[in-house]
Amino acid sequence: MQFLTEIKKWLGEITEILLLLIAVAIAAEILFGGAVPFFGGVIANLTALIDSLGENGLVGLIAMTIIFFLFYRRKAATTEHHS
């Protein structure tokens, strides 16, 4: 079971890094426009995702709720372990 715990820990850390990269990409695209190499198109992709969830009505709302729950749960677990 220690192996699974380590995998969960690594996946959690990778997820946090990816979320930070998304935040940096959004900030870079806002500051420098769409001409940012490697980060270009992040805002357009996020907007398309949000539009897609919005078009699906209740299903989109449920999907968004599940996504937020998973991120919140991960954040709460990380804070508990660091305290």
Q: What is the pLDDT of residues 15-72, one digit of tens each?
A: 888 888 888 888 888 888 767 777 767 778 878 877 777 777 777 777 777 777 777 7
- Contact indicator for 26, 43 with CB cutoff of 8 Å: yes
Rounded Cα distance between 60 and 17, Å, is 26
Burial group, residue 42, by CB count within 10 angstroms (0-12, 13-18, 19+) = buried
Q: Is it the case that residue 13 has pLDDT exceeding 60?
A: yes
